[in-house]
Each structure stands twice: as C-alpha cells, then as structure tokens.
C-alpha cells in the first residue's frame, strides 16, 4: 500500500512537470513604426528557439502605454500560438532618458572632484600639523642666533599662510561643486518625476511537438505619439513653378526610444469605427413637464440635479530641431488613406520633442496672380492657383512661405475644399505699391427735402515696380442697404464688376512693368434726414 502511494505521488509530480510551462525571456528588436496623427503602431521581430512542449515567451522592456486590444502576434515555424497576454511590470522600470544619464555622469564627475579636493585638504592638514609640531621644538632651541631664528619664523609663517590659504580655496571649491550637484539632482527630479515608468510586457504561450526554430512578430498601438504636416512653399519667380516641401513633424513620449527604425507616416484613423452608422427611428411626442416635488418639512422646492459625467476627464491626454536632410520616401495611396514610407532609419527619442522629416517634394505649375484689398490693407498678396492639387496627397497644415529666396511669413494650407483649384497664399510683394485715398472734392453731404445724401469717392492707385507684367485682382466694396428707407447707388466704378448681393466690387487688371494704374470708386447713400447712418 505504501509502495502504491509512493508511485502515485511520483506519477502526479511527473504529470505536473509535463503540464508546466517553460518560461523564457526573449528580446525582439523594434523594426518598424507607423505613426498616425495621435498614436503609433510598433512592430518587433524576434528569432526564437522553442523547446518541446508548452513554453511561455515573455517580451519585456516595452512602452507602458500599449493598447491591449491592438496587440497582434504572428508566428513562423512548426509551433502553435495558444494565447497572448499583456501587462505592465511595475517591478521593472524602463531605462532612463539619455538626458538623465548625462546629468548623472556630470554628478559623478563633480563627486570625483570633491573627493580629490578633500584628499588634498587631508595632505595639507598633515603639513600644518607638522609645522606646528616643529615650531615648538624650534622655540626651545637656544643655539639659534637672532637672525637665524628670524629666518626660521619667516619660513614657518609663509608655509602656514600658504597651507591655510590653499585649504580655504579647496573648501570653497567643494561648496561650489556641492551646489552644482544639488542643481543637477533637481533637474533629474524634474525630468524623472516622482516615479519611473513601469515596463510593458507581452507574454505569448506556444506549443510545439518538438524543439524548433522560428520567428515571432509583435505589433501593437501606443499612445503619446503622433505627427502633423507642415510645408515649406518656395517660389523663385512668378514665371516658374511652385516648390512644395511636405514635412512630417513627429514626436513621441512613450517611455521607450525608437532607435534606428523604419518610419511610415499615415493619415489613417484606424481606431475610429469603420462601420456605417445606423439611423434609428426618431420618435417624438408632446412634452409634459415633470412637476417639482416640494418637501413638507421645509416647504422649499428641492430638486436633484442629475450628475453628468465629464467625458473630457476620461479622454486620453496626448503630449505633443532641426530640418532633416532629404531622404528617399515611397508613397502608398490606398482607397481611403495615404502613407509615406521613409527609406532611411531614424532615431526618435522619448522626450516629447518634435523632429522634422521631409516626406515629399513636388514641383507644380501654378497660375500666379496678385490680390489686393486696399480698404483693409495697403499690400498686394501673391497667390498661386494649382489645378492638380488632389494628386499631391496634401493635408491641411501650416506653411512657411519663401519668395525670391526671402522668407515672407506663414500661411495656412487648407485642402478641405470642394473646388478643383487650390489657392496658395504666398505672402506680400513689396514691389507692388497700393494706395487708397479719399477724393475730398468729390465727397459731400447734402440735404434735399426730407432726405440726406452722402457721397463718397476714393482714388485707388496701383504701381508695378517689377520688371515683368503682373495680373492683379483689386477688391473693394460699397455698403448694402438692409432697410427700405436707405438707398445705395454705385455712381462710378471704372469698369469694376459690382455684385449687388454682397456689395463687392472686383477689378481684374494687367499692369505692365513700371506702370501706374488708377481706379475711381464713387457711391452715394440716401436716407431720411432725421435718421443717422454710420458710413465711416
């Protein structure tokens, strides 16, 4: 009986051993990152040696901001993936930022200097003790003459002065080093925060009938990363095409540096539901107010305000250099998305700082024209009209403008429009002078009968100081009456097109080099003399 019991225990132990998982830590290099507008998808690859039976493969040192629902693991080889789990390991912290490591190295260097100074002070203290001990012996010595004793005391005094001064200087240096260390430690505290980030961990349970070699690929989405587009728009001359430099401003603060990885930038939003929304029936009925209940104890109306959950408190907070050299980029155009694959590996540190990467450079013919609105500003604005803009795969973003190799300012590139032509605002051109002045002799106020008539006249002058002919659109306006008692009449427009619905007047002009063109705008407003109308 005892022998049978012993055999049963051995059998259970053996079966437990067979069913137990072999745990194995693996390392998977980060190979590719696809950056979306407000998150990123990371892809790792690892070669694995899988023993016979069940094995639990653990991939650690990952970002703590992984979306567990986005994890995908693929295996290549003669084994089967049984399960995939994710957790944050709070016992293992991610490695420190490079900036913090640099500061710690500075602190260690200062601590070594303090040790050197303290060692020097110890030597000087010994020398000081030696001088003091020998001074007592010299004072007791009676064989010295007065001159000899004087020389000895001068030698003692000068040595003691040197020792004391040197010790004082070294103590001051130590205090200065300690202040620097305290300041650097404060920087570490500010950068590291109260606690270091935990380490993300993905565990994959696999099964194999025999020992095999294989490969695993991990992909997952993390927050605290993203990109947005910006542009450099350069025009060398209005007779040449426009150059558009499309740039990606990428950042990440995921807790893990992306070292030498292939980057892709996508305008997709895969986390938004792709299903067509269902329009359910909309039922309506008469509204019956709910009577307010009053308590007998106080006689005062008491209503309870429903508690509304502030969705903003549950929303994810995404934290949002120099220009990089031009690199090879492959553009992938899908049915609904566009992505740019960068050929050269990049390193993006986890510091939240933006890094600019050029992803596209196009040279596009444009129809250049100037626009001026002298009533609002005395400047002429150069615009470039691009007809094939949809082929450029552009997104709305801020644009930095350069005209004739000169920075002229910033503008906004808006591609959210339904027109076939994209208009780029390329800033002002100081070679075109615009002036709008009131013609005092033709401006008047008259009262005839029960009505008052105010007449305004303006002279608009445009001077082309360029060496080439320009096309310019001049815009002005007359007021629009919103009362039947007010009558507005445009009396002189110098050939301008008058839109009676909006009050806008438009002149499309061609002005030769060094030519001056003058436009006269005159309008009158009639209304009852006992009323007031503000016209200027």
């220009």: which residue's tokens? 323
Q: Please give the pLDDT value at position 272.
A: 60
Percent of the chain having pLDDT more than 70? 75
User: What is d(CA 283, CA 285) in angstroms, rounded to the nearest whole number?
Assistant: 7
The tokens describing 29, both together, are 């290099």
List CB contacts of 59: < 8 A, sequence separation 6 or more. 26, 27, 28, 44, 46, 201, 202, 203, 204, 218
Q: Please give the pLDDT value at position 301.
A: 37
* DSSP 8-state secondary structure symbol assigned to residue 345: -
* DSSP 8-state secondary structure symbol assigned to residue 404: T
**pLDDT tens digits for 347-381?**
998 888 899 998 888 888 888 899 999 999 999 99
Q: Are 379 and 434 in contact (CB under 8 A)?
A: yes
Q: Are 347 and 260 in contact (CB under 8 A)?
A: yes
Q: Give the pLDDT mean for 258-266.
A: 92
Confidence of residue 386 (pLDDT cuts 50, 70, 90): confident
Q: Are 526 and 487 in contact (CB under 8 A)?
A: yes
- Regarding predicted confidence, which is higher, 300 or 255? 255
Nearest to 324 by CA among 292, 348, 371, 358: 358
**pLDDT tens digits for 143-165?**
656 666 666 667 777 777 888 88
Q: Please give the pLDDT value at position 535.
A: 83
Query: How many C-beta neighbours within 10 Å does residue 213 have?
Result: 12
Q: Please give the pLDDT value at position 393.
A: 73
Query: How many C-beta neighbours within 10 Å does residue 292 have?
Result: 8
> Which helix (H) or strand (E) segment is 174 a member of?
helix 146-192
**pLDDT tens digits for 482-532?**
888 899 999 999 999 999 899 999 999 999 999 999 999 999 999 998 888
Q: Are 238 and 368 in contact (CB under 8 A)?
A: yes
E strand segments, 128-224: 198-208, 212-222
User: What is d(CA 326, CA 336) in angstroms, rounded to the nearest whole number?
Assistant: 27
CA dihedral defined by 204, 209, 212, 216, rounded to 10 degrees? -20
19-33, 44-58, 184-198, 348-362, range with the lowest pLDDT: 184-198
Beta-ladder partners of 145: none
């629009």: which residue's tokens? 480
Nearest to 321 by CA among 342, 352, 343: 352
User: What is d(CA 344, CA 496) in angstroms, rounded to the nearest whole number?
Assistant: 55
H helices of 297-394, where?
Answer: 311-314
Residue 288 burial class via C-beta count within 10 angstroms: exposed 0-12, middle 13-18, buried 19 and up: exposed
The phi and psi torsions of 119 (rounded to 5 degrees) equal: -65, -40
Ranked by mean pLDDT, the top range of 217-221, 347-351, 404-408 is 217-221
Q: Tell me the residue length of the chain.
A: 536
pTM of the model: 0.60
User: What is d(CA 200, CA 223) in angstroms, rounded to the nearest whole number?
Assistant: 13
Q: Are 100 and 196 in contact (CB under 8 A)?
A: no
**Which pairing describes strands 258-266 and 225-235: parallel, antiparallel, or unpaired?**
unpaired
User: What is d(CA 109, CA 116) in angstroms, rounded to the nearest whole number?
Assistant: 11
Q: Please give the pLDDT value at position 164.
A: 84
529-534-536 Cα angle (round to 5): 125
Ranked by mean pLDDT, the top range of 19-33, 174-188, 408-422, 465-479 is 465-479
13-17, 239-243, 319-323, 432-436, range with the lowest pLDDT: 319-323
**pLDDT tens digits for 93-104?**
655 556 677 888
Q: Please give the pLDDT value at position 178.
A: 86
Q: Give the pLDDT mean for 283-311.
A: 46
């Amino acid at each position: 009986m005892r022998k049978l019991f012993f055999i049963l225990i051995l059998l259970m132990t053996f079966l437990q051993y067979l069913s137990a998982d072999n745990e194995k830590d693996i390392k998977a290099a980060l190979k590719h990152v696809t950056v979306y507008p407000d998150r990123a998808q990371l892809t790792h690859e690892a070669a694995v040696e899988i023993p016979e039976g069940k094995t639990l493969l653990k991939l650690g040192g990952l970002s703590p901001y992984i979306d567990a629902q986005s994890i995908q693991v693929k295996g290549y080889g003669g084994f089967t993936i049984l399960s995939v789990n994710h957790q944050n390991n709070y016992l293992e912290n991610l490695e420190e930022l490079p900036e913090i490591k640099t500061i710690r190295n500075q602190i260690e260097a200062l601590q070594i200097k303090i040790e050197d100074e303290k060692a020097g002070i110890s030597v000087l203290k010994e020398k000081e003790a030696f001088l003091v001990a020998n001074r007592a012996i010299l004072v007791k010595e009676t064989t010295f003459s007065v001159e000899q004793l004087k020389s000895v005391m001068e030698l003692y005094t000068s040595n003691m002065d040197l020792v004391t001064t040197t010790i004082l200087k070294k103590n001051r240096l130590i205090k200065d080093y300690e202040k620097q260390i305290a300041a650097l430690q404060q920087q570490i505290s500010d950068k590291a925060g109260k606690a270091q980030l935990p380490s993300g961990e993905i565990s994959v349970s696999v099964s194999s009938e025999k020992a095999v070699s294989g490969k695993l690929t991990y992909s997952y989405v993390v927050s605290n990363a993203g990109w947005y587009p910006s542009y450099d728009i350069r025009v060398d001359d209005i007779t040449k095409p426009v150059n558009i430099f499309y740039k990606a401003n990428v950042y990440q603060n995921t807790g893990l540096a992306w070292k030498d990885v292939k980057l892709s930038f996508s305008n997709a939003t895969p986390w938004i539901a792709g299903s067509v929304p269902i329009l359910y029936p909309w039922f309506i009925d008469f509204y019956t107010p709910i009577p307010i209940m009053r308590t007998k104890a106080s006689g005062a109306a008491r209503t309870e305000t429903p508690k509304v959950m502030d969705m903003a408190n549950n929303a994810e907070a995404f934290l949002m250099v120099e220009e990089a050299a031009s690199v090879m980029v492959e553009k992938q155009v899908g049915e609904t998305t566009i992505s740019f694959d960068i050929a050269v590996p990049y390193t993006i540190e986890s510091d939240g700082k933006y890094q600019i990467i050029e992803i596209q450079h196009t040279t596009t013919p444009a129809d250049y024209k100037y626009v001026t609105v002298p009533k609002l500003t005395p400047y002429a604005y150069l615009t470039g009209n691009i007809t094939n803009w949809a082929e450029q795969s552009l997104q709305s973003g801020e644009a930095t403008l350069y005209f004739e190799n000169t920075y002229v300012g910033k503008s906004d590139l808006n591609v959210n429009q339904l027109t076939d032509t994209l208009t780029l605002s390329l800033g002002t051109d100081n070679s075109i002078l615009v002036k709008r002045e009131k013609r005092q002799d033709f401006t008047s106020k008259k009262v005839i009968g029960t009505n008052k008539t105010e007449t305004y006249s303006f002279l608009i002058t445009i001077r082309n100081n360029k060496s080439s002919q320009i096309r310019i659109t001049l815009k002005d306006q007359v007021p629009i009456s919103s009362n039947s008692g007010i009558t507005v009449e445009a009396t002189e427009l110098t050939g301008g097109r008058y839109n009676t619905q909006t009050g806008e007047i438009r002149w499309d002009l061609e002005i030769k080099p060094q030519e001056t063109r003058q436009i006269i705008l005159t309008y009158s407003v009639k209304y009852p003399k006992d009323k007031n109308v503000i016209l200027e």
